[in-house]
């Protein structure tokens, strides 16, 4: 029997972690007067031992947090900066006491800043902000959810302390992570390698504080980089595994260090305790073992099964799954928060359109659901065949270069321009994206497997350099001045330029791979020629779409704020006078002048009477 009366909201969000809190704030910022409830059994004041996996953002999630949620200053003041990704392979796996590794170092300041995250602190602070904005927080556990069809009110039953609450809402969001509240209720969640591109992984990780970071790097690299190596996310590789090293606090020198292990290579029972994990590090990456044992242990965690996905993310019955409740594949590239970003913005727009009674609300829901499923599947594909390839520095360097091309050339500008919310664009984009990721990428990974099996050395590709492919191209390049000209409003960023040039450079990179890896026979193979000419053909086809787009936006300002500022300047007239503040001061009694200056400037006057000509 329920001892507290029923409460009703527009949206109830189950889970107040990263995904749930971000969703709540985004709704509150974009839909006036919306009523939002958050539910989470964890206390508001999260402890430093709060279980977390994934404490790093990349460009899309960082832009979302800082720009869309308005948290630039908060992030600068509370969370460590991030200077891209560094990659390390041991030259001799039996000798890892020092950083005598093959390295790919970030060599410059990033054009778009991203951050590391102290997740417990971020979630605690954001929950407090959401409550101040009007969200209602229920510190309790969801015991059941009634998902009625269509627009009928849903009911979430919550145990708060020793009492029960019924919360009714028009929309229900599952952001409760691996509890899978909606996933299990609707048989929506998918496990197993067959559903996640063959991935069969687990993860062990520790957090430590007060480490001696000079064991990793002394911070001095005047000829190699213009940014910090420590405040990057560092990836360390070996056969069947990779490790992350993420600084999560600047004051306590806290580090998160964890491994993603492929069960076919490293069984769970060999790494599932802190003692076993430390032994693994000592044997395989001794420099990391030295680093974590130089500090104080905070916690240890192990997840035997990491990857899962969902059949549907946004239902016509007004329920939504986001964050880890929807999918997670691998922490490689720190993509989890970016997948959440796409989902959060999609959910907000669906709910906004439905609450407003817009005729195309269901069309948006359907399109956004399809886009997010295909987008997350594309990210899933980026982890395919890792078990065989991670330890091969040559192959992985080529692979990272290739995947960076996709990220910076297509996915980042797509997000910046809000093209993921353009229903007409989504339909045509998904066809190209699906064919590329499920066709070209899968074939390339099969070729990489062949190269690994025969022990081939195809050289080293550095994803940060601009002297390896053609002209001055490098994978971090963007092909529209969306940053320089602040093209942050919807549809201003020329995504077609990114699609065109990226497919062209895909073609060049692909033929270089065939020549380096398989010689003339590889270049002339019919399947390889098909991919090459298809990529060039797509680049040409997209050029036509770009011309149409440029014609449609002709005369549209790249940034409305700048256009207004320019208009304001038309009436600008220089005025070479000051307001008569000095006259007011001069008329005051001498003994009051100091206090007047203090009132105007907020500070004491310099003690001029104590100064002499000689100073």
Confidence band, pLDDT 50/70/90 cuts, at residue 48: low
Task: Enumerate the H helices of 8-64 as residue ranges.
Answer: 18-30, 59-63
Confidence band, pLDDT 50/70/90 cuts, at residue 45: confident
8 A C-beta contact, residue 285 and residue 96: yes
Per-residue pLDDT at 3 exceeds 60: no
Per-residue pLDDT at 582 exceeds 70: no
pLDDT computed for residue 603 by the predictor: 45
pLDDT computed for residue 128 by the predictor: 97
pLDDT computed for residue 55 by the predictor: 85
Cβ-based neighbour number of residue 195 at 10 Å: 16
pLDDT computed for residue 63 by the predictor: 96
Task: Please give the average per-residue pLDDT across 228-248, as a whole number.
Answer: 96
pLDDT computed for residue 46 by the predictor: 73
Per-residue pLDDT at 200 exceeds 80: yes
pLDDT digits (tens, 9 = 90+) for 452-500: 999 999 999 999 999 999 899 999 999 999 999 999 999 999 999 999 9
d(CA 598, CA 172): 55
pLDDT computed for residue 611 by the predictor: 34
User: What do you get for the CA distance between the two ends of the chain, in Å?
Assistant: 82
Per-residue pLDDT at 127 exceeds 50: yes
pLDDT digits (tens, 9 = 90+) for 210-237: 999 999 999 999 999 999 999 999 999 9
d(CA 344, CA 323): 9
Task: Please give the average per-residue pLDDT across 186-192, as a whole number.
Answer: 97
208 forms beta bridges with 255, 297
Per-residue pLDDT at 381 exceeds 70: yes
Whether the domain at 1-78+116-190+310-385 and the domain at 81-115+201-306 fall into the same CATH topology: no
The secondary structure of residue 418, as a DSSP letter, is: T
Per-residue pLDDT at 319 exceeds 80: yes
Confidence band, pLDDT 50/70/90 cuts, at residue 587: confident
d(CA 447, CA 431): 24
pLDDT computed for residue 590 by the predictor: 61
8 A C-beta contact, residue 413 and residue 495: yes
Query: CATH assignment of 1-78+116-190+310-385?
Result: 3.50.50.60
Confidence band, pLDDT 50/70/90 cuts, at residue 591: low
Per-residue pLDDT at 605 exceeds 50: no
pLDDT digits (tens, 9 = 90+) for 133-164: 999 999 999 999 999 999 999 999 999 999 99
Task: Enumerate the H helices of 436-494 as residue ranges.
Answer: 442-453
Does the predicted TM-score (pTM) go above 0.85?
yes
Half-sphere exposure of 310 (CA within 13 A, CB side): 32
Q: Where are the domains of the chain?
A: 1-78+116-190+310-385, 81-115+201-306, 395-569
Confidence band, pLDDT 50/70/90 cuts, at residue 49: low
Confidence band, pLDDT 50/70/90 cuts, at residue 608: very low
CB-based contacts of 605, cutoff 8 Å, min separation 6: 594, 597, 598
Task: Please give the average per-residue pLDDT across 32-38, as a whole number.
Answer: 98
The secondary structure of residue 440, as a DSSP letter, is: I
Report the percent of the chain where pLDDT is more than 70: 93
- Segment 421-430 long-range contacts (CB within 8 Å, at least 24 positions apart): 421/345, 421/346, 421/349, 421/364, 421/368, 421/490, 422/490, 422/491, 423/360, 423/363, 423/364, 423/367, 425/495, 426/367, 426/368, 426/370, 426/371, 427/367, 428/545, 429/371, 430/370, 430/371, 430/374
How distant, in Å, are the alpha carbons of 219, 316, 442 from that of 214? 7, 54, 40
d(CA 5, CA 420): 40
Average pLDDT, the chain: 92
The CATH number of domain 81-115+201-306, selected from 3.90.650.10, 3.30.9.100, 3.40.50.2300, 3.40.50.150: 3.30.9.100
Rounded to 5 degrees, what angle do the CA atoms 123, 129, 131 make? 100
pLDDT computed for residue 581 by the predictor: 77
Task: Please give the average per-residue pLDDT across 173-180, as a whole number.
Answer: 96
pLDDT computed for residue 52 by the predictor: 67
Per-residue pLDDT at 47 exceeds 90: no
């Amino acid at each position: 029997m329920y001892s507290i009366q029923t409460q009703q909201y527009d949206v109830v969000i189950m889970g107040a972690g990263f995904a749930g809190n971000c969703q709540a704030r985004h709704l509150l910022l974009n839909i006036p007067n919306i009523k939002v409830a958050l539910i989470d059994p964890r206390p508001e004041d999260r402890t430093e031992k709060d279980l977390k996996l994934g404490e790093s953002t990349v460009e899309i999630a960082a832009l979302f947090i800082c720009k869309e949620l308005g948290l630039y200053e908060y992030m600068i003041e509370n969370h460590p900066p991030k200077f891209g990704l560094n990659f390390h392979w041991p030259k001799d796996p039996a000798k890892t006491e020092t950083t005598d590794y093959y390295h790919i170092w970030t060599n410059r300041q990033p054009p778009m800043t991203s951050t590391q995250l102290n997740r417990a602190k971020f979630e605690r602070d954001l929950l407090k902000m959401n409550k101040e904005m009007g969200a209602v927080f229920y510190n309790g556990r969801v015991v059941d959810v009634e998902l009625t069809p269509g627009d009928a009110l849903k009911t979430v039953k919550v145990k708060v302390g020793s009492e029960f609450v019924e919360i009714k809402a028009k929309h229900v969001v599952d952001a409760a992570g691996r509890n899978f509240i909606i996933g299990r209720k609707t048989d929506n969640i998918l496990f197993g390698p067959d559903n996640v591109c063959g991935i069969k992984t687990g993860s062990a990780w520790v957090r430590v504080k007060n480490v001696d970071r000079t064991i990793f790097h002394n911070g001095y690299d005047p000829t190699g980089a213009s940014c910090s190596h420590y405040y990057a996310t560092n990836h360390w590789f070996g056969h069947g595994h990779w490790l992350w090293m993420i600084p999560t606090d600047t004051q306590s020198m806290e580090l998160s260090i964890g491994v993603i292990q492929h069960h076919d290579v490293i069984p769970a029972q060999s790494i599932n305790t802190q003692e076993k994990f430390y032994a693994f590090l000592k044997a395989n990456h001794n420099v990391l073992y030295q680093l974590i044992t130089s500090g104080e242990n905070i916690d240890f965690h192990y997840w035997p099964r990491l990857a899962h996905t969902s059949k549907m993310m946004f239902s016509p019955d007004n329920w939504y799954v986001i964050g880890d409740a929807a999918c997670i594949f691998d922490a490689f590239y720190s993509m989890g928060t970016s997948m959440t970003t796409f989902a959060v913005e999609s959910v907000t727009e669906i709910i906004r359109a439905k609450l407003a009674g817009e005729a195309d609300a269901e069309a948006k829901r359907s399109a956004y659901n399809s886009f997010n499923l295909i987008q997350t599947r594309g990210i899933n594909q980026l982890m395919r065949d890792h078990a065989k390839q991670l330890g091969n520095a040559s192959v992985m360097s080529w692979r990272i270069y290739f995947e960076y091309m996709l990220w910076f050339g297509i996915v980042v500008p797509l997000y910046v321009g809000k093209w993921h919310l353009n229903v007409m664009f989504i339909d045509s984009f998904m066809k190209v994206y699906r064919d590329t990721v499920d066709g070209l990428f899968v074939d390339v990974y099969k070729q990489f497997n062949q190269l690994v099996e025969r022990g081939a050395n195809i050289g080293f590709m550095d994803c940060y350099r601009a002297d390896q492919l053609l002209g001055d191209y490098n994978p971090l390049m963007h092909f529209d001045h969306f940053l320089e000209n602040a093209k942050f409003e919807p549809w201003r960023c020329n995504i077609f330029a990114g699609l065109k040039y990226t497919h062209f450079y895909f073609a060049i990179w692909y033929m270089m791979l065939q020549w380096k890896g398989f010689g003339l026979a590889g270049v002339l193979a019919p399947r390889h020629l098909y991919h090459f000419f298809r990529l060039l053909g797509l680049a040409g086809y997209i050029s036509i779409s770009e011309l149409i787009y440029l014609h449609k936006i002709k005369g549209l300002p790249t940034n409305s704020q700048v256009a207004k500022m320019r208009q304001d300047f038309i009436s600008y007239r220089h005025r070479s006078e000051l307001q008569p503040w000095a006259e007011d001061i001069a008329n005051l009694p001498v003994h009051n002048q100091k206090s007047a200056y203090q009132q105007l400037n907020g500070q004491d006057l310099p003690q001029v009477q104590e100064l002499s000509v000689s100073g």
